[in-house]
Structure 1
Amino acid sequence: MTTDEVDPPLDERTTQRIPVLNVRAGPRDGGEWIKRLKEEYTALIHFVKMNKEADGDWFTIASDSTGTRWTGTCWTFHDGLRYEFGLTFDIPATYPVTHPEICVPDLDGKTAKMYRYTY
C-alpha cells in the first residue's frame, strides 16, 4: 500500500461528510444570521445522525429561539459507568470570528485549565 492509498484520519473523514457552512454571519447580522443558523442546524443534525448510525451518540443540544444560547447534555462511559454533564454556551456577538466558550458547570473548580462557569 502506498501513501496515496492510505485512508485519511477518522476526524478528517467525519468532517468531510458534514455539510459546509457558507454563510459568514453572526447574531448581529439580521437575516444573514438566520441563514447561518439554518446551516448550523443542518450540519448539527447531520453530525448527530452520523453519530447515532455509528453507535457513537454522546450529546444532546438545543438553542433558544434566537440561536444565541445553547444548552444540552454530554456523556461518556468509563469503567462501565455513565458520566453525564450539563453544558451551556452563548454565541458571541462577533461569531464566527470569535468562537463560543463551552461551559460544563458540573466540572467547575475540578481543574484549573477548563470548564469555567461564569453564568
Structure 2
Amino acid sequence: MAETIDKNTKERVGKIPLLTVNAGPRDKEKWEDRLKEELMALINYIRQNKEADMDWFTIEPKNNGLSWQGKCWYIHNLVKYEFDFRFDTPATYPAAAPEIELPELEGKTAKMYRGGKICLTIHFKPLWIRNSPRFGIAHALCLGLAPWLAAEVPYLVEEGAITPKV
C-alpha cells in the first residue's frame, strides 16, 4: 500500500477480506457471487468498526447491488456531522471504483465534482487500480470516503459551510 497510509489505516484495511470473484454488474453469471463477497466484506468491516467503537456509516444495497445508499458521520470537536451518501456500481466494476456522492455537500468544497461526487482521483484511484479486483465496496469506504470526511469535515465546519443536524 502507499506510504502515505498511516499504520492504523493499514491495520484496519488489512482486516477487510480481499475479494476473489472478478465480476461486475455486466457478468450476470458471477455477479451474484461477487455481491455475496461484497456483503460479507461489509459485514466484517462494520463489525470491526463497532468492536473498536468506531462505527461511522450505515449502508444498504438497492437493485441487486447496482445502487447503494447509506448515512455516514464524522465527529469533529465532539459534534456529530451526518450526511446521506450514495453511489452506483459502475458498469466496469471492479476495474473502476465507485464514485461516492454526498449530495447535500455539493458546491461546498473544491474537493468535489458535479453531482456531489467526492474527489478521490489523486490518492484513492491509483490504489484501487493496483488492487482491483480484490478491493470492494468496504475498501472504497475505508480508503476513500473515510479519509475524505476526515480531511473535509473540519475544513467545512471552520468555514461555516456545514452545521450539525439537530
| Local SS of the residue matching 1:27 | coil
Which amino acid is 1:69 matched to? S
What's the offset of the Cα at 1:24? 0.6
Q: Which structure 2 residues correspond to residues 32-51 of structure 1 after superposition, within 5 A?
A: 32-51=30-49
Q: 1:113 and 1:79 mapped to 2: Cα distance? A: 22
Runs of 4+ in 1 over 3 A off after TM superposition: none
Show the counterpart of 2:16: 18
Show the counterpart of 2:77: 79
What's the offset of the Cα at 1:15? 2.2
CA displacement 1:95-115 (0-9 Å, x = unmatched): 001111000011011012216
Report % sequence identity. 51
Q: 2:80 and 2:15 mapped to 1: Cα distance? A: 28
| TM-score normalized by the length of structure 2 | 0.63
Which amino acid is 1:71 matched to? Q
Q: Which structure 2 residues correspond to residues 1-119 of structure 1 after superposition, within 5 A?
A: 9-114=7-112, 116-117=114-115
Q: Unmatched 5+ residue regions in structure 1? A: 1-7
Higher relative contact order (CA 8 A, sep 6+): 2
* CA spacing shift, 1:98–1:112, aligned 2, 3 Å: same
| Local SS of the residue matching 1:74 | strand
Q: Unmatched 5+ residue regions in structure 2? A: 1-5, 117-166
Q: 1:20 and 1:40 mapped to 2: Cα distance? A: 9
CA displacement 1:68-111 (0-9 Å, x = unmatched): 10000000111221110000000011000111100001101101
What's the offset of the Cα at 1:117? 1.8
Alpha carbon RMSD of aligned pairs, Å? Answer: 1.8
The size of the alignment, in residue pairs, is 112
Q: 2:90 and 2:35 mapped to 1: Cα distance? A: 13
| TM-score normalized by the length of structure 1 | 0.87
Contact kept, 8 Å, 1:105 with 1:116, in 2: the verdict is no
| Local SS of the residue matching 2:14 | helix
